[in-house]
Every structure is written in structure tokens, then in C-alpha cells.
Chain A
Amino acid sequence: MRTLLGLIVGLVVGAGLALAALYFSPLGAIKERSESWQETWQSGDESAMLVTHSERIPVALQPYGTQSLWESAIAATGMTAYDMASDDRRLFVSRLSLPLEDAQLLLGQAKFESVWLVSEPGVGSFWLSQEENHWNLLKRRLLPAWLLDEEFSGSEAYPSTVPGTARLKGATGSYTARMGSVAERLQLSRVGGVALGLTSEIGMSWEPASAAPESAPEVE
């Protein structure tokens, strides 16, 4: 009996130590790039045009009553659409995000894949693909809010792009055949209830346009 009790106490202590080690691990920190970007863009404080997911997380769909992503193949995916601005230029972003299967919690990584289709009116469209690590944002603010009702209101920045994983690829118009690099930082302003105030800041740099535009080889 004493042995069993000792074992149970030990299990609880050991589990607690492991959880604390995972929570306070500094391994998930992202080092932001120090060089300057050619372009910087920011989403506004206004509500996104579209927010939808499977309704497993307490974040309101936008608009209310939007079709949710309930089917099993897409139930872990989120879809958002919103404007970004840089001076007097505007981008429209349609963003698809989902957790990656190789999320490495031991290394402080809650990894997500994020694929954007971005269009600038009158100019053209391009794609953005990146891996993101949201471990710090999850453990510091989102999980405490959703599980423990710890609301937050303020301003905190969370670099999200995993270095070396982000790329831009031109699709149409002036962006055709262009390639580039990008990094994102999220700004959290509030979380509580079903409200989530999150804005995105991105820095982009495009490689010099090649002399002759590429075209995908024809497949016969």
C-alpha cells in the first residue's frame, strides 16, 4: 500500500515536472530577421471579412452563420480573408491554415502550415507559403483564455514564421514569375470569450524580375 502510494505521488510529481519543462522551454522562440524588408504590410483592426473553422475553438465565425468546416478532411483547417495595407496600396488576403502532423512539442513547436492567395487590385496575384510556430502564443495567451477563462487585453507581438520556410511565388499580372521571401509577426490585442483580436504584419522582399518570364512546361 505504501509502495503504491509512493508510486502515485511520484507519477504526479514527475508528470508535473515534465509539463513545467515543456511550458517554460525556451526552444520555441523565433528569431526575427534583422535586415530590412522591401515592403511591409499590415492588416487593420477592423474585423476580417471571413473567419471560419470547425467550431472546435471558441472563436466567432465571421460573418455569423458562415458555413463551418465540419467535414473530417477539413475539420482541422481555418480559413480567413482580410485586407492588408501599405501606405496607399491594398492587398486582399485569403488564408488557409492548419496544424502540421510533425508538430514538435518537445522542441517548443506548435507548427502550422499557412498558405495564402494574395491579390493587389489592378496589379496581380501571388501565393505565400510558410510554416508557423504558435507555441508561445498558445501557451501564454490562447490556451489560458480558452481553458481557464484568463482574458487578455493589451498589445503583444508574436513572430510566427519559422525561418527558412516562407516563400512568395508570383501568379498573375505584375507578379508573374516573381519569387520572394517573407516573414510575419502577429499582434495580439485581446482574447476572451469568443473574441480574438489578432492583426498580421508581414515584411516581403522580391527577387529582381528575370528578363524572360517563366512559363510552366506543357504536359502532353
Chain B
Amino acid sequence: MKAAIITGVLLGFSGVIALAGFYPWVDHPRPISRTEVLPNGGRSENFTIRLPADRIAVAADQVFAGPRGQQFPEDLLSAASLESGGLAAEHFKLRDGAGEVVGLAVRHVTVLPTGEHTAWSLMLPSRGALWLAGEEDRNLIASTLESQGFRPNSGAFATDIRVEATGGTGQVFGGSREFKDLVGSYEEEWRLTGVTDTGALRGTVLLRTITRKGS
């Protein structure tokens, strides 16, 4: 009896310790990394954001005119730093090139004396965060829609246009874990198919990254 109890204590103790130490309590699903190796040894990877489905929260009406500045959700609380003007914050779900949700994306746009500057943080839970920054024109989307005949508060609108947002200024600034030491460039393209009857942009934001290990 005594031997059985002692054996049980040892087994119970070591079992819990082993469970705490070796059981994979956290195991992030790892979607296939859809990267393409380039002839010069660099790596190309594309990400997409579907609008309006992938919007989580957008507070951008102080920076962007038209549908891009539409606050979402409607009852989003205000933040003092955003109300001061000159700062927009957008939060999205992030998809890979095949359209599968693989992470989250955050973008801040700051209006500075030198123009509008964009910074992205793309988080892929199983791989890390990828950081991007570039410049953009705050009026580009609104003016392009207007040139196609869109008028505010006129209901649903259909179109098929592609807008290059960063004009070649996009750069990769590393990030965390797998992306920590990467450098490179990115392009941001908006493929717009219209505006919904609630005034939301409809289309896809495509982020094309080209990276390599930094020296």
C-alpha cells in the first residue's frame, strides 16, 4: 500500500510537470506560406484585404474624404489623438494570395508637412509581424472614384479600376520572428469594384512584398 501511494505521488507529480513543460498548449495553425523565390534570391509574397468584408475598425474621416474615410463600425468610440486631425487608423483581417485569412493588418496614416505617410503592421500569428512604410496621396482614391462618375450619397456605384497607392515609395522594415531581419520593398494596389449602398468601398487591397535578408 505504501509503495503504491509513493509510486502514485511520483507519477502524479511527474505527469503534471511533464504536461506543463511539454504539452503544446499553444499551437498556431500554420497556413501554407505562399512565397515565391525570385531569380536574384529575393522572396516575393502577396497579401490581400477584401473590402468591406475584412474591415474590423476604421477611424479615418479626419484624413480621407469620400468612402475611404467612412467610419466603421458606426458606433466606434472616438480617440482624442484621432480627433486632433491628421491621423487615420485602419484595422483589417489579412489574407494570403489565395484568399485565406492568415493574419491581421493595421495601418496608420499620418499627415505631415512632407505629405501623407503610411505605416503598416502585418501580423501572421505562426510567423511573426512584417512592417511596411511608404507615402501616399490622401485624395487619390476619392479623386479616382469621382473621375469614374461617383458622387457622394448617390447610392451604390459600380466600377472596375486599379489604383497604385504608394508610387514606388514602399519599403519593408523587418518586423518580428521570421520577418525580423528582412528588408525590401512593397507595392500597394487598390482594385476597386465600386461603392456599396451604405457608402463603403468595395474591392481588394493588394500588398506585394519583395524581401531579402538584410546585411
Min Cβ gap B56→A in Å is 5
Min Cβ gap A100→B in Å is 7
Q: Mark A141-181, 1 if CB is under 8 A from B, else 0.
A: 00000000000000000000000000001011100000000
| B165 in contact (CB, < 8 A) | no
- Which residues of A95-127 are within 8 A (CB) of B? 96, 98-101, 103-106, 113, 115-117, 119-127
Mark the stretch among B83-91, B141-149, B155-163, B192-200 that contacts chain A. B83-91
Interface residue from B28, B42, B75 paired with A63 (Cβ < 8 Å): B75
Knowing A7-B8, A123-B110, the reply to whether A94 touches B185 (Cβ < 8 A) is no
| B98 in contact (CB, < 8 A) | no
| A27 in contact (CB, < 8 A) | no
B87 touches A94 (CB 8 A): no
| A58 in contact (CB, < 8 A) | no
Knowing A47-B77, A82-B79, the reply to whether A121 touches B84 (Cβ < 8 A) is yes
Knowing A6-B1, A10-B8, A216-B171, the reply to whether A83 touches B108 (Cβ < 8 A) is no
A17 touches B184 (CB 8 A): no
Q: B42, B106, B114, B133 — which one has the most chain A CB atoms within 10 A of its CB?
A: B133
B5 touches A9 (CB 8 A): yes
A94 touches B106 (CB 8 A): yes
Knowing A96-B106, A216-B171, the reply to whether A129 touches B8 (Cβ < 8 A) is no
List of B residues within 8 angstroms of A101 by Cβ:
24, 26-28
Knowing A6-B4, A96-B121, A219-B185, the reply to whether A119 touches B110 (Cβ < 8 A) is yes
Interface residue from A8, A14, A22, A52 paired with B20 (Cβ < 8 Å): A22
Min Cβ gap B181→A in Å is 12
Min Cβ gap A107→B in Å is 9
B1 touches A73 (CB 8 A): no
| A209 in contact (CB, < 8 A) | no
Interface residue from A8, A52, A91, A98 paired with B123 (Cβ < 8 Å): A98
A: contact size bracket: 35 or more
Knowing A66-B56, A106-B20, A125-B117, the reply to whether A73 touches B176 (Cβ < 8 A) is no
Number of A-B contacts (CB under 8 A): 273
Alpha-carbon distance A130/B117, docked complex (angstroms): 24
Alpha-carbon distance A100/B24, docked complex (angstroms): 10
Alpha-carbon distance A3/B3, docked complex (angstroms): 8
| B57 in contact (CB, < 8 A) | yes
| A196 in contact (CB, < 8 A) | no
| B93 in contact (CB, < 8 A) | yes
| A189 in contact (CB, < 8 A) | no
A121 touches B110 (CB 8 A): yes
| A194 in contact (CB, < 8 A) | no
Alpha-carbon distance A152/B9, docked complex (angstroms): 35
Interface residues of B (CB under 8 A from A): 1-17, 20-21, 24-29, 31, 40, 42, 55-57, 59, 73, 75-82, 84-87, 89, 91, 93, 100-104, 106-108, 110-112, 114, 117-121, 123-126, 128-129, 131, 133, 171-177, 183-185, 210-212, 214-215
Interface residues of A (CB under 8 A from B): 2-19, 21-22, 47-50, 52, 62-67, 69, 71-74, 76-77, 79, 81-83, 85, 90-92, 94, 96, 98-101, 103-106, 113, 115-117, 119-127, 129, 169, 171-173, 215-220
Given A13-B9, A169-B173: 5 more A-B contacts, CB < 8 Å: A65-B73, A67-B56, A74-B104, A104-B21, A219-B212
